[in-house]
């Protein structure tokens, strides 16, 4: 059984089991297999830079190099922000209980791009939290599945059927644009008489 996610609601710690909701479970899927003329499964290969060498699975790897092209061990690298400030990694959300001390509005929830949804199996003693969620409460918190430098935003909420769910996403970057000049809808459009070049005579069709 997968490790549960623990929430701290008030002074109570509640352990929830997660079940990821994906498109395959909702709609099913079709697995396409490529075969050769003798019905043998084909494997993905990479064409080398010489244009004739094929590199099969396990024959390539990634590595870090410095500006001079020399190999860099990953342990020697330090993450920094675009401004050059050091970045600290956050622990996994499964490492310690998540405090439910911040609520989010519906507008805040809808302003995020949701990439993963998990259905939660509530434990005994979660009646008070479930009552809040089913009444429309949404809790938000930083979430990282395995830990890392860029945590997501987690939302704890309930579906229309009352099932508790965990939605994971990132803040959406939605720049609003408008016309440089807006026309006045009350301004009358002036049509010059005698200019018939743009007029269409339907009798000619």
Centroid of chain to Cα 154:
11
Instruction: Give the residues across from 30 on adjacent strands.
Output: none
Tokens (6 digits) for 39 = 């019905």
Location of structure tokens 């005698």: 194
For each of the domains in the chain, give its residue range(s) and CATH number, in order of start: 1-20+90-175 (2.40.290)
Longest dimension (CA), the chain: 83
pLDDT reported for residue 101: 94
pLDDT reported for residue 60: 83
pLDDT reported for residue 193: 55
pLDDT reported for residue 182: 60
pLDDT reported for residue 154: 97
How many CB atoms within 10 Å of residue 17?
15
In 3D, which of 164, 118, 154, 122 has the Cα closest to residue 12?
122
pLDDT in tens, the chain (205 residues): 578 999 999 999 999 999 998 888 778 888 889 998 999 999 888 998 898 898 988 888 888 888 888 998 888 888 888 888 888 888 999 999 999 999 999 999 999 999 999 999 999 999 999 999 999 999 999 999 999 888 999 999 999 899 999 999 999 987 777 766 666 666 655 555 555 555 555 555 5
pLDDT reported for residue 117: 94
* Residues 135 and 164: beta-carbon distance below 8 Å: no
Q: Are strands 98-99 and 5-9 parallel, antiparallel or unpaired?
A: parallel
Q: What backbone torsions phi and psi does residue 127 show, to the nearest 5 degrees?
A: -60, -40
Buried b (16+ CB within 10 A) or exposed e, 19-52: eeeeeeeeeeeeeeeeeeeeeeeeeeeeeeeeee
Q: What backbone torsions phi and psi does residue 130 show, to the nearest 5 degrees?
A: -65, -35
pLDDT reported for residue 153: 96
pLDDT reported for residue 201: 58
pLDDT reported for residue 184: 62
> Where are any strands of DSSP class E within the chain?
5-9, 12-21, 46-47, 54-55, 64-65, 71-72, 98-99, 112-121, 139-143, 152-158, 164-171
Tokens (6 digits) for 42 = 């084909």
Q: Output the pTM of the full model.
A: 0.69
């Amino acid at each position: 059984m997968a490790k549960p996610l623990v929430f701290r609601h008030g002074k109570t710690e509640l352990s929830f089991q997660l079940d990821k909701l994906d498109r395959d479970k909702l709609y099913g899927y079709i697995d396409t297999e490529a075969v050769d003329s003798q019905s043998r499964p084909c494997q993905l290969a990479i064409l080398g830079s010489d244009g004739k060498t094929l590199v099969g699975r396990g024959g390539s790897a990634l590595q870090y190099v410095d500006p001079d092209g020399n190999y860099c061990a990953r342990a020697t690298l330090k993450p920094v922000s675009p401004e050059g400030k050091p970045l600290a990694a956050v622990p996994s959300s499964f490492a310690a209980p998540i405090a439910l001390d911040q609520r989010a509005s519906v507008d805040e929830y809808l302003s995020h791009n949701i990439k993963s949804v998990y259905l939660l199996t509530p434990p005994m003693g979660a009646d008070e939290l479930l009552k809040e969620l089913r009444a429309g409460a949404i809790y938000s918190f930083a979430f990282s599945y395995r830990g890392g430098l860029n945590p997501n935003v987690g939302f704890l909420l309930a579906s229309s059927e009352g099932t508790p769910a965990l939605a994971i996403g990132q803040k959406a970057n939605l720049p609003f644009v408008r016309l440089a000049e807006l026309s006045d809808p009350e301004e009358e459009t002036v049509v010059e008489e005698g200019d018939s070049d743009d007029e269409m005579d339907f009798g000619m069709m």
